[in-house]
């Protein structure tokens, strides 16, 4: 029988596994104790995919898997960094005179956060020494990049006394710095859901994130209780380990098509179109009428995904809230099918994994994250997750795919200081 590797989450707290690993790496490389340790979680999005950059709705939870950052401030502008992924090769950068895209490789993410904060009106941010250790799978669509940038942002907030981490409005500024780091220094387009999840999720809850730009920090999120244990359910996450390449232009193409469509429809963003459709007396015919205004079939399918997906987020919240897990699962399925057929961001591994989970008795399953590889989630009865993971691994073996990895997700907490 096929065995599946389950990814363990490290324990939190000052003496937990995560803080200990980051602190020990810092001591080994920099020869002294760090001033503190901070962490931020990876995430899975329950539903609402490719909607954040359309001013839409999404619903992430924070994972128990986190990135831990041990750091100390410097008085000069140098940045020295080391990651547990490559512990023998610390890297350096300088914040003075730094331009967009001025740092390459993974160092662009942490350096970019400091650079973004300086430009956002915090000249007191100086250089720093930093060691990071992570149990978030990297490049698996579980947002190791935002876990890293948000842990760094919170560390810099404390080290340089910015006073942003303690309230929601301050956290929104840290989120913005994390987004800028990723977009402008690392050159990886990101819509903002991942950073909001890492900074604002609460344990036991999903984060209903409303991405309309006109909303302020108080009104753009809602904590939605998501108590899987009380519901007798399990959320299985399977990393397909298929190539995850958002940088090859597909993501940017989808964004550009959505912007073009909004322009043609005479709306600021597709959310405005979605709200009209979903509030209509007969949403399916309102959607059909909307799509008729668009010039080509591909664009019509992209818009159909975005509009229908935005509508599914509140339907999922409503269904889960009243214990209708069959409907909640069907909404997962509809989301995946739309991402596969209309938005065309799945791949054979994602489709096979989702199919195997459905056949194995999950209420529903879907890809999560940007797509083109990465991970799937499946909603199942408690205790069924590991059987489903084995089913998926068996299917992958017979198809000649790489062996997948799995974890059971519980909604966890946002970025925090560990010690
Ligand atoms: P995801 O966010 O889904 O994991 P991305 O492609 O957005 O995938 O981000 C992965 C990139 O983030 C890696 O290629 C690497 O540059 C950087 N990264 C994430 N975590 C770490 C880490 N612990 N150490 C070094 N780099 C990391
Ligand atoms: Mg990422």
The pLDDT tens digits of the residues spanning 61-86 come to 999 999 999 999 999 999 999 999 99
Instruction: With a cut of 70, list the residues of the chain below it in pLDDT.
Output: 1, 244-247
Residues 397 and 389: their CA atoms lie apart, in Å, by 12
In this structure, the number of other CB atoms found within 10 A of the CB of residue 32 comes to 9
Q: What pLDDT is recorded for position 56?
A: 98
Q: What pLDDT is recorded for position 246?
A: 55
Q: What pLDDT is recorded for position 217?
A: 87
Q: Is the CB of 65 under 6 A from ligand 1?
A: no
Residues 78 and 73: their CA atoms lie apart, in Å, by 10
What ipTM was assigned to the predicted interfaces of this complex? 0.99
Question: Which ligand has the nearest atom to the CA of 91?
Answer: 1
- In ligand 1, the atom with minimum distance to the C-alpha of 369 is 3
Q: Is the CB of 20 under 6 A from ligand 1?
A: no
Measure Cα distances from 283 to 280, 289, 331 in Å: 5, 10, 16
Q: List the residue whose alpha carbon is closest to atom 15 of ligand 1.
A: 106
Q: What pLDDT is recorded for position 83?
A: 98
Q: CB–CB of 353/404 below 8 Å?
A: yes
Q: What pLDDT is recorded for position 218?
A: 87
Q: What pLDDT is recorded for position 148?
A: 98
- In ligand 1, the atom with minimum distance to the C-alpha of 370 is 3
pLDDT in tens, 142-185: 999 999 999 999 999 999 999 999 999 999 999 999 999 999 99
Chain centroid offset of residue 388 CA: 23
Residues 323 and 400: their CA atoms lie apart, in Å, by 38
In this structure, the number of other CB atoms found within 10 A of the CB of residue 75 comes to 7
Contacting residues for 290 by C-beta, under 8 A, at least 6 apart: 265, 273, 276, 277, 303, 307
> What six digits make up the tokens of 258?
């959505």
Please give the model's pTM, rounded to 2 decimal places: 0.97
Contacting residues for 313 by C-beta, under 8 A, at least 6 apart: 47, 48, 51, 56, 57, 58, 59, 208
Q: Which of 250, 254, 239, 245 is nearest to 349 (CA)?
A: 239
Residues 350 and 238: their CA atoms lie apart, in Å, by 9
In this structure, the number of other CB atoms found within 10 A of the CB of residue 298 comes to 12
From 131, 133, 139, 179, the mutation candidate for ligand 1 (largest count of ligand atoms within 8 A of CB) is: 139
For the question of residue 239 being annotated catalytic, the response is no
């Amino acid at each position: 029988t096929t065995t599946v590797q389950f990814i363990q989450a490290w324990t939190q707290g000052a003496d937990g596994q995560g803080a200990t690993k980051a602190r020990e790496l810092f001591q080994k490389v920099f020869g002294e104790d760090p001033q503190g340790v901070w962490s931020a979680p990876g995430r899975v999005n329950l539903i609402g995919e490719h909607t954040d950059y359309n001013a839409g709705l999404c619903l992430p939870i924070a994972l128990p898997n986190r990135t831990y950052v041990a750091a100390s401030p410097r008085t000069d502008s140098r940045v020295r960094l080391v990651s547990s992924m490559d512990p023998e090769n610390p890297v350096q950068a300088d914040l003075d005179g730094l331009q967009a895209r001025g740092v390459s490789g993974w160092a662009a993410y942490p350096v970019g956060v400091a650079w973004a904060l300086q430009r956002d009106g915090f000249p007191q941010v100086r250089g720093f020494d930093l060691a990071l250790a992570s149990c978030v799978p990297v490049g698996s669509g579980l947002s190791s990049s935002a876990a890293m940038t948000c842990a760094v942002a919170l560390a810099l907030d404390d080290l340089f006394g910015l006073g942003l981490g303690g309230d929601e409005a301050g956290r929104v500024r840290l989120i913005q710095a994390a987004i800028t780091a990723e977009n402008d220094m690392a050159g990886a387009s990101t819509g903002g859901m991942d950073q909001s999840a890492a900074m604002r999720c609460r344990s036991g809850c999903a984060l209903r994130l409303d991405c309309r730009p006109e909303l302020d920090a108080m009104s753009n999120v809602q904590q939605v209780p998501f108590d899987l244990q009380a519901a007798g359910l399990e959320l299985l996450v399977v990393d397909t380990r298929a190539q995850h390449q958002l940088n090859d232009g597909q993501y940017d193409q989808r964004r550009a098509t959505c912007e073009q469509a909004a322009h043609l429809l005479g709306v600021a963003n597709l959310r405005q179109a979605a709200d009209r459709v979903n509030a209509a007396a007969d949403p399916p015919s309102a959607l059909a009428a909307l799509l008729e205004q668009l010039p080509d079939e591909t664009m019509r399918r992209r818009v159909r995904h975005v509009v229908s997906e935005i509508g599914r987020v509140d339907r999922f919240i409503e269904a889960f809230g009243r214990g209708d897990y069959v409907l909640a699962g069907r909404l997962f399925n509809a989301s995946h099918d739309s991402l596969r057929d209309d938005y065309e961001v799945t791949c054979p591994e994602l489709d096979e994994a989702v199919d195997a989970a459905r056949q194995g008795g999950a209420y529903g399953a879907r890809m999560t994250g940007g797509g083109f590889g990465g991970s799937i989630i499946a909603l199942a009865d408690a205790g069924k997750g590991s059987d489903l993971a084995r089913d998926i691994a068996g299917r992958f073996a017979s198809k000649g795919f790489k062996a997948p990895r799995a974890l059971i997700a519980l909604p966890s907490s946002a970025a925090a200081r560990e010690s």
